[in-house]
């Protein structure tokens, strides 16, 4: 695996791939890789000849400096994992290479960034869309893979790609979970043993809501209460539990197949998000 450190190296490498007739898939991450990330890589390999993974802990998308300072870094481990999964190129720039002197551009997606994670984490999505636009603009990948775990992030990037006429196919990969159902996340290692144990309530609540939906319950408030009451039996603080439309992200009073229950909690000072598409 070759490691690229600058946008110029990324751009030139992608050009060479294209000249050789090879398609390129990009998998952006912030590192501290787990099976959720490697599932994206494996999917990327099915969709393109060349996989470019990126690792960049993007300061622009952290509205909380403690969260940024505590974000885990495991570069040696990550490099090994990416090699094991057949990644040909890793793009891992430092902050100076990503944001040169006097950097002053921001990509702002309106509307859908005002709600959910956007309202709890001001500036977060502008940071995400700015960095992803830079990655896309340097590499011009054919395909990019993102996880369903960050459902709103996918919707925001999809909006940006469509609005800015970027010829990139986006693929949403399913959420990979721990054996007890907790969605894998680089932040999970910050949970105390007790909090880690309690965190499973999020998935248990989502599963129970799915059971109710399958039994014919369509009232969103009732589904939301089901999830909330499961989480309320733990020490987690609920930020939101909502039933939303998958494209507009608007709240729905009546749940329909394909709509999404989204959850955000703070547990042991760690923000955890999860979601489930009702079927």
Tell me whether residue 136 or residue 146 sits nearer to ligand AMP (CB atom). Answer: 146
Closest CA to 134 of 175, 103, 156, 162: 103
CB of 225 to ligand AMP, least distance (A): 26
Nearer to ligand AMP, 4 or 27 (CB): 27
Closer to ligand AMP by Cβ: residue 25 or 255? 25
The side-by-side arrangement of strands in the sheet containing 237-244 is 237-244, 260-267, 270-277
Asked about 37 being catalytic, the answer comes back as yes
- Which residues, in sequence order, are CB contacts of 72 under 8 Å at separation 6+? 31, 32, 186, 189, 190
Q: How far is the CB of 228 from ligand AMP (least distance, A)?
A: 22
Q: How far apart are CA 192 and CA 267, in angstroms?
A: 9
In whole angstroms, the minimum distance from the beta carbon of 34 to ligand AMP comes to 7
- Give buried/exposed letters for 156-170 (b at 16+ CB in 10 A, else e): bbbbbbeeeebebee
| Comparison of 123 and 225: residue with beta carbon closer to ligand AMP | 123
Q: Residue numbers of the site for ligand AMP (CB under 6 A)?
A: 29-30, 36-37, 39-40, 146-147, 149-150, 173, 175-176, 183-186
Measured CA to CA, the distance from residue 137 to residue 168 in angstroms comes to: 11
State the catalytic residue, choosing from 34, 37, 85, 276: 37
What sign does the dihedral 104-107-110-112 (CA atoms) show? negative
Active-site residues: which are they? 37
């Amino acid at each position: 695996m070759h490691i690229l450190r600058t946008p110029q190296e990324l751009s030139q490498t992608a050009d060479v791939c294209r000249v050789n007739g090879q398609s390129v898939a990009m998998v952006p991450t912030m590192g501290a890789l787990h099976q959720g990330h490697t599932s994206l890589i494996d999917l990327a390999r099915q969709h393109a000849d060349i996989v470019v993974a990126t690792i960049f802990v993007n300061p622009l998308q952290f509205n909380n400096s403690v969260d940024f300072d505590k974000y885990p870094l495991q570069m040696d481990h990550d490099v090994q994992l990416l090699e094991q999964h057949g990644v040909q190129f890793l793009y891992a720039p430092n902050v100076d290479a990503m944001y040169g002197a006097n950097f002053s551009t921001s990509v702002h997606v309106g509307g859908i960034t005002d709600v959910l994670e956007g309202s709890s984490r001001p500036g977060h999505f502008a940071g995400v869309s700015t960095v992803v636009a830079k990655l896309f603009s340097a590499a011009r990948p054919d395909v990019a893979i993102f996880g369903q775990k960050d459902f709103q992030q996918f919707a925001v990037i999809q909006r940006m790609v469509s609005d800015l006429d970027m010829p990139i196919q986006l693929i949403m990969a399913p959420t990979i979970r721990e054996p007890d159902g907790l969605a894998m996340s680089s932040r999970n290692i910050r949970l105390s043993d007790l909090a880690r144990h309690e965190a499973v309530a999020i998935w248990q609540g989502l599963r129970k809501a799915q059971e109710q939906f399958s039994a014919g319950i369509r009232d969103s408030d009732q589904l939301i209460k089901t999830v909330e009451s499961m989480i309320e039996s733990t020490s987690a603080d609920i930020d939101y539990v909502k039933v939303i439309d998958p494209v507009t992200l608007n709240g729905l009073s009546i749940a329909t197949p394909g709509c999404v229950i989204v959850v955000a909690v703070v547990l042991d000072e760690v923000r955890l998000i999860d979601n489930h598409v009702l079927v």
